[in-house]
Chain A
Amino acid sequence: GENVEQHPSTLSVQEGDSAVIKCTYSDSASNYFPWYKQELGKRPQLIIDIRSNVGEKKDQRIAVTLNKTAKHFSLHITETQPEDSAVYFCAASRRLIYNQGGKLIFGQGTELSVKP
């Protein structure tokens, strides 16, 4: 079945450094790749996403890259701040019907700690 592997499981960086989280997916038909951030005790929230027809997408300090051939995608956070500390989840799905959702599979999560 579909599977999404995420690494590392924990990541600790100094404030101002960059952080990179990597994911691989098994379903070659996957075409949508979102990233969610979950703060302690709260619900996951979307921070950035990318579709398979795009190789890279950036939003301020956050960027995501996609390598369809290798079936992996990565989240890059630059100039990290203490408020970036949270658990980050990658996910992958395939779009079955143009305007309707597909099965979204999440990775196991990366706990990011940004030390001031």
Chain B
Amino acid sequence: GAGVSQSPRYKVTKRGQDVALRCDPISGHVSLYWYRQALGQGPEFLTYFNYEAQQDKSGLPNDRFSAERPEGSISTLTIQRTEQRDSAMYRCASSPRLKNGAGELFFGEGSRLTVL
């Protein structure tokens, strides 16, 4: 596809269930980011990868959250034992190799998670 693809677009789950959110970045993009965005708020950093290496996971709220990008392309964000406070829009973004330290992030449409 031409853009960043995320699935599922909408996910409703019951408290305590595990969920996996998938991100398929633009082909060839080096960096992949996960953000969480509440309505009317800025994207909140969760984690990011350069190629398959997770560079920073300091934004993951707790150990129920994890992410991987095993082959340097598709990434999965997993939330275990979901809680109502996990309900949010989860956005993935990818960026190409930087030019002189600058690079645009291309965002996906997001996965809206609702935990009942």
Contacts and interface: CB of A to CB of B under 8 A. Distances in A.
B56 interface: yes
Interface in B25-71: 30-31, 33, 35, 40-45, 48, 50, 55-56, 58
Interface residues of B, number: 30
A101 B48 contact: yes
Nearest to B45: A105
Given A97-B50, A109-B41, A49 B105 contact: no
B104 interface: yes
B31 A45 contact: no
A98 B101 contact: yes
Nearest to A109: B42
Given A43-B110, A44-B43, A106-B43, A101 B50 contact: yes
Of A1, A31, A87, A102, the most chain B CB neighbours within 10 A belong to A102
Contacts of A101: 30-31, 33, 48, 50, 95, 98, 103
Nearest to A4: B42
B22 interface: no
A58 interface: no
B50 A103 contact: no
Interface residues of A, number: 30
Nearest to A9: B40
29 contacts: A31-B101, A32-B102, A34-B104, A34-B105, A36-B105, A43-B107, A43-B108, A43-B110, A44-B105, A45-B107, A49-B102, A49-B104, A51-B101, A89-B42, A95-B98, A95-B101, A99-B99, A100-B31, A101-B30, A101-B31, A101-B33, A101-B103, A102-B55, A104-B33, A104-B105, A105-B45, A106-B43, A106-B44, A106-B45
Interface of A: 1, 6, 31-32, 34, 36, 43-46, 49, 51, 87, 89, 95-109, 111
